[in-house]
Amino acid sequence: MNFLGLLARNRLALLGLVVVLMITVLALLTPLLPLADPDVTNTANRFKRPFEDGAILGTDHLGRDLLSRLFWGSRLSLAVGFASALVAATIGATIGIIAGFHGGWTDNVIMRGVDMLMAFPYILLALAIVAALGPGLMNALIAVAAVNIPFFARNIRGVTVGIAHREFVDAARLSGMGNTRIILTEVLPNVIPVIIIAMSTTVGWMILETAGLSFLGLGSQPPQADLGSMLGEARSALITNPHTSVVPGAMILIIVISINLLGDGIRDALDPRLKSGALSRPMPRTLVRRGEPSAGKGSSALLALSGLETQFHANSRVYRAVSGVDLVVRPGECVGIIGESGSGKSVTALSVMGLVASPPGVITAGSAHFSGQDLIGAEYGTLRRLRGDRVAYVFQDPLSTLHPLYTVGEQLVEAVRVHHPMPKVRAREHAVGLLHSVRFPNAKERFDSYPHELSGGMRQRVGIAMALANDPDLIIADEPTTALDVTVQARILTLLRELQRERGLAIIFITHDFGVIAQLCDRVAVMYAGRIVEEGPTDAILKSPAHPYTARLMACVPELGQERRRLTAIPGLPPVLDDLPDGCAFAERCHRATDACRVGNIALAGLATERVVRCIDPEFRAAGTA
């Protein structure tokens, strides 16, 4: 969704935008409007009430037309407020970027100077500057800008420090760019949203400060009108002729409120984290919008997915991430799901427990029966009780799933106690036992380590221990070894295999590596573009893959000791999910494809015992079939 669209969703911000635009347009057009001269005094006409003798807003103590003075005054106040915001932002951001980017003593010297400025109460500082430069609107502008520079400098420095050590800045440096170019092309584009946000939330404040200085007689000088000086002059007639103060006061109120509403809206709309979620928090379970749920099949199954369809509805487009997946997992069985990145493996796995983020995720069809109970559309309470208890997940990167501020022990204890309240001491014993069971060396001593103190393999062992915490029936492991190196991966796989045997666990193991499937899984389902294209016992599929996609995936795996074999990458790219082709989604990349592959819906067809394939011309046919 684009920036304006997001802004428009926020009603208050939209209102602010409309008011600010209206006032700005009026201010720009003021010289063209048929207004009385704002500075002509006529003491005979002083203190006219609104609508008296054609003066719409009345007149002030010198008989000057208030409507005209209001227009000219708003024009001046807006101009000075925006100008000082612009000056403060430019100078402050420059200082902040230089300090943050260079670091070291440059940073120290600059930021200590900024700290000194910040140590003065801002209004005293502004008064001192005006006192030194002399009263006048220009000097008020300089004073307001100057006292706001430290705010921008601090803000932008913090952001820049974070960016200056990122990989893309290192890459730019390695490619030979100079500092100035890196700042302009790499750092600045990342900082600009922050500058805009800081500006939009402070313009209102600066208009107020300018008005304050004018009110004290240090800003605009008579007879020139700005909102602050109008208020100041009306002070003596506050009781007798309140309209002279109410008019500029109300204007200041309206301007500042609408600018602040707009600023808040801009901040929300520019924040990239809010952009994809469209300003709303994800729901605690995936949205379900399906017609008639299908009945669960296979009473012996622990988990039975049937016709599962999960889509992402974003920007009025529909991305069909999972379109009709059937899969059965029996107790104690390990089922592999394999496919290229983006084929819908994770979304399938997350849909089971309603963990796909909504918005934008929607489950549009199908069912997921776990021990006979349909989980799609189940109450949040039901899902919550099952999550981490009967069904546990292990994710790819344990560093991002473990909380960095708690020790692994505390997190394990929490995982246990969420589902089975027990005294801390017993939960702790149980947690140490869990670490032992995942062959965690020195479990007792490392219990109080933080995640960052452990190696990748150890962290993943903690992840697995956490999944085991409540003795689940099913573990869904989503590429748990992808972030690990090969030897650690082998150890984790051995561990999973042993745990599966010891505890009679069922495992859904998601990976893109056939080598891993071969070591661990009893059965395997091959996914492509959100559908299962082949499924069957691992041995049989490894020996004779039927779908050309399976065959090509297997050809991508290197084998030790076979140096002559050529590795062939699959040519082309997977199809885009918001515009899936008719017929077989793999046809575009398949060497066996014919015109017949590109029409209709190709169903999963039986091939041999327990084997199905979604292909009209499979690579392998069981004896006896044509």
Residues forming the site for ligand ADP (CB under 6 A): 312, 314, 319, 321, 339, 341-347, 357, 360, 577
Q: Select the binding partner of residue 357 from Mg ion, ligand ADP, none (C-beta < 5 to 8 A, by kind).
A: ligand ADP
- What SS3 class is residue 125? helix
Question: Distance (Å, rounded) from C-alpha 451 to C-alpha 570?
Answer: 38
Residue 20 interacts, among ligand ADP, Mg ion, none and using kind-specific CB cut-offs from 5 to 8 Å, with none
| Nearest distance from C-beta of residue 112 to ligand ADP, angstroms | 45
**Interaction partner, residue 347 (Mg ion, ligand ADP, none; CB < 5-8 Å by kind):** ligand ADP
> What are the respective helix, strand and coil percentages of the chain, to the nearest 5?
50, 15, 35
CB nearer ligand ADP, residue 126 or residue 577? 577
Residue 466 binds what, of Mg ion, ligand ADP, none (CB under 5 to 8 Å, by partner type)? none
Which residues from 108-127 bind Mg ion, rule CB under 5 A?
Answer: none
CB 302 within 8 A of CB 506: yes
State the binding partner of 388 from Mg ion, ligand ADP, none, CB within 5 to 8 A by kind.
Answer: none
Q: Cβ of residue 585: shortest distance to ligand ADP, in angstroms? A: 12
Query: What backbone torsions phi and psi does residue 390 show, to the nearest 5 degrees?
Result: -85, -35
Contact 43, 164 (CB under 8 A): no
C-alpha–C-alpha distance, residues 373 and 367, integer Å: 10
Cβ 511 to ligand ADP shortest distance, Å: 10
Indicate which of Mg ion, ligand ADP, none lies near residue 342 (CB less than 5 to 8 Å, by partner kind).
ligand ADP
> Alpha helices of 271-379 — where are they, by DSSP H?
272-276, 345-352
344 binds, among ligand ADP, Mg ion, none (CB under 5 to 8 A by kind): ligand ADP
Return the structure tokens found at 623. 């004896």
The verdict on 343 binding Mg ion (CB under 5 A) reads no
Count CA atoms closer than 13 A to 12's CA, side-chain side: 10
Asked whether 211 and 227 are in contact (CB, 8 A), the reply is: yes
Least Cα distance to 348 among 367, 322, 371, 374 occurs for: 322
- Nearer to ligand ADP among residue 74 and residue 346 (C-beta): 346
Q: Which is nearer to ligand ADP, 307 or 342 (CB)?
A: 342
Structure tokens of 237? 């007639």
For Mg ion, the closer CB: 443 or 496: 496
Judged by CB under 5 A, the chain residues 405 through 434 that form the site for Mg ion are none
Using the minimum distance from each CB to ligand ADP, give the nearer residue, 215 or 393.
Answer: 393
Dist CA 598 CA 596 (whole Å): 5
Nearer to ligand ADP, 362 or 431 (CB): 362
Residue 492 binds which one of Mg ion, ligand ADP, none, with CB within 5 to 8 A depending on kind?
Answer: none
DSSP letter for each residue of 585-626? TTGGG-TT--GGGGSS-PPPEEEETTEEE--SS-S---TT--
Residue 514's SS3 state is helix
Least distance (Å) from ligand ADP to the CB of residue 320? 9
Nearer to Mg ion, 346 or 358 (CB): 346
Q: Of these, 220, 346, 460, 470, which contacts Mg ion (CB under 5 A)?
A: 346
- Asked whether 363 and 310 are in contact (CB, 8 A), the reply is yes
Provide, rounded to whole angstroms, the least separation between the CB of residue 409 and ligand ADP.
Answer: 31
Tokens matching residue 549 = 């996609």
- Quick one: 286 or 346, whose CB is closer to Mg ion? 346
CA distance 101 to 25: 39
| Residue 339 or 409 with smaller CB distance to Mg ion | 339
Q: How many Å separate Cα 610 from the centre of its chain?
A: 42
Which among ligand ADP, Mg ion, none contacts residue 339 (Cβ within 5 to 8 A by kind)? ligand ADP
* For Mg ion, the closer CB: 59 or 396: 396
Burial label for 25, CB within 10 Å (0-12, 13-18, 19+), is exposed
Contact region for Mg ion (CB under 5 A) — 216-224, 346-354, 553-561, 593-601?
Answer: 346-354
Task: Give CA torsion, residues 372, 377, 382, 387, to 10 deg.
Answer: 90
CB hemisphere CA count around 5 (13 angstroms): 8
Torsion of CA 126, 129, 135, 140, to 10 degrees: -50
Q: Residues 6 or more apart from 620 whose CB is under 8 A from it?
A: 544, 545, 546, 607
End-to-end CA distance of the chain: 52
Six token digits for residue 312 = 């992402």
Smallest gap from Cβ 145 to ligand ADP, in A, equals: 43
User: CA dist 65 to 48, 57, 266, Å?
Assistant: 9, 8, 36
Nearest distance from residue 343's CB to Mg ion, in Å?
A: 9
* Binding segment (CB under 5 A) for Mg ion, from list 49-57, 322-330, 344-352, 440-448: 344-352
Contact status: 351 vs Mg ion (CB under 5 A): no
Report the distance separating Cα 305 and Cα 467, nearest Å. Answer: 21
Q: How far is the CB of 512 from ligand ADP (least distance, A)?
A: 7
Supply the minimum distance, in Å, between the C-beta of residue 424 and ligand ADP.
37
Is residue 481 near Mg ion by the rule CB under 5 A? no
- CB-based closest residue to ligand ADP: 346
Measured from the CB atom, is 346 or 544 closer to Mg ion? 346
- Closest approach, Cβ 556 to Mg ion, in A, equals 17
Q: Which residue is nearest to Mg ion (CB)?
A: 346
8 Å CB contact between 600 and 582: yes
Between 214 and 343, whose beta carbon lies closer to ligand ADP?
Answer: 343
Residue with Cβ nearer Mg ion (480 or 548): 480
Beta partners for residue 323, in sequence order = 309
74 binds, among ligand ADP, Mg ion, none (CB under 5 to 8 A by kind): none
User: Is there a contact between 532 and 325 (Cβ–Cβ < 8 Å)?
Assistant: yes
* Least distance between Mg ion and beta carbon 396 (Å): 7
Residues 141 and 144: their CA atoms lie apart, in Å, by: 5
Residue 549 touches which member of Mg ion, ligand ADP, none, C-beta under 5-8 Å by kind: none
CB 282 to ligand ADP: min, Å: 9
Beta carbon of residue 195, minimum distance to ligand ADP (angstroms, whole number)? 29
* Binding segment toward Mg ion, per CB under 5 A, in 63-71, 192-200, 338-346, 609-617: 338-346
**Least separation in angstroms between CB 348 and ligand ADP:** 7
Q: Quick check: helix, strand or coil at residue 50?
A: coil
Contact between 210 and Mg ion per CB under 5 A:
no
Q: Return the structure tokens found at 131.
A: 């006192």
CB of 511 to Mg ion, least distance (A): 10
What residues make contact with Mg ion under the rule CB under 5 A?
346
